[in-house]
Amino acid sequence: MYTDNKIISCEFCSRCWSNFKTLSAEEFELINKNRYEASFKPSEIIIKQGSPSSNAIFLLSGLAKVYMEGYAGKNLILNLAGPKTLLAGPGVHVNSRYCYSVAAITHVQACFINFDIIRNVISANPGFAEGFIEDLSEKALKIQQKMLNLTQKKMHGRLAEALLYFSDSVFQSDEFEMVLSRQELGEMTNMAKESVVRIIGEFENENIIHATPRSVRILNREKLLVISEKG
């Protein structure tokens, strides 16, 4: 799994965290000395929920799913993550455990940075700390919003929203590769895979989307938005 570092220095790496822009040259140096790269094949686990959270992880390339392992083997997919995103979770600052799992969807190249180093920088660099707080807050807000969606919307609304999430936040296109299976789409929207299939079928009949098992094209974004909002 572990490979030699491919990137010369974080300072000139365009694929890591935007909050690194606040670092001084020395801090870059420090982080650069304490990082390791690894690559993962599709479906391999990058972060395992419950294990000690010793590293902050950034994807350099590829796409991964972030999910909680719940009761009776049931997962809840929180979001998809690509490059420029900090993967660690709030558990780091509470009980030093990862509070979610992350698994590669495509081939993934990842950068591991020891969290003690990150903590040092947080203490030493107020700008970085502020960025860190913003990042934590953004994620907390999204989770809160997701909870509202999952609890208050009906299946059609939740699925519509998931499709818009792919289109807007992951692929920035009305036509995209469907990287999740129907089962996983269900884990993301809290519904049974059969329901996902059924509702995707309904959306197709109403000419809202065109879907194959591996791809989706949004044909009527207005309608999809209405469904997503009306719940």
Partner DNA sequence: ATGCCGCTATGATATATGTCATAATTGCCT
Partner DNA sequence: AGGCAATTATGACATATATCATAGCGGCAT
Residues that bind DNA (CB under 7 A): 154-156, 181-183, 190-195, 197-198, 200-201, 211-214
* Minimum gap (Å) between residue 90 Cβ and a second copy: 4
Binding partner of 213, given a second copy, DNA, none, CB within 5-8 angstroms per partner class: DNA
The reply to whether 148 sits near a second copy by the rule CB under 8 A is yes
- 213 scored as a contact of a second copy (CB under 8 A): no
Give the burial string for 60-71 (b: 16+ CB within 10 Å, else e).
bebbbbbbeeee
34 vs 125, which CB is nearer to a second copy? 125
Comparing CB distances to DNA, the nearer of 168 and 194 is: 194
Judged by CB under 8 A, does residue 153 bind a second copy?
yes
Left, alpha or beta for 111 (phi > 0: left; psi -120 to 50: alpha)? beta
Give the span between the Cα atoms of 58 and 55, in whole angstroms.
10
Distance CA 45, CA 126 (A): 33
- Mark out the alpha helices in the chain (DSSP H runs): 25-33, 115-124, 126-152, 155-165, 182-189, 193-205, 221-230
Q: Rg of the chain over CA atoms, in angstroms?
A: 19
92 binds, among DNA, a second copy, none (CB under 5 to 8 A by kind): a second copy
d(CA 4, CA 66): 25
CB of 92 to a second copy, least distance (A): 7
Q: Which of 143, 169, 210, 215 binds a second copy (CB under 8 A)?
A: 143
- What's at 187, amino acid-wise? E
* Separation CA 140–CA 91 (nearest Å): 12
Chain residues 181-200 in contact with a second copy, contact rule CB under 8 A: 190
Name the residue nearer to DNA (CB basis): 193 or 221. 193
Q: Under rule CB under 8 A, how many of the chain's residues touch a second copy?
A: 42
CA–CA dist 227, 229 (Å, integer): 5
Instruction: Decide if residue 45 touches a second copy (CB under 8 A).
Output: no
Q: How far is the CB of 129 from a second copy (least distance, A)?
A: 5
Footprint on this chain of a second copy (rule: CB under 8 A): 68, 70-72, 74, 76, 78, 90-94, 99-100, 119, 122-124, 126, 129-130, 132-134, 136-141, 143-144, 146-148, 150-153, 190, 229, 231
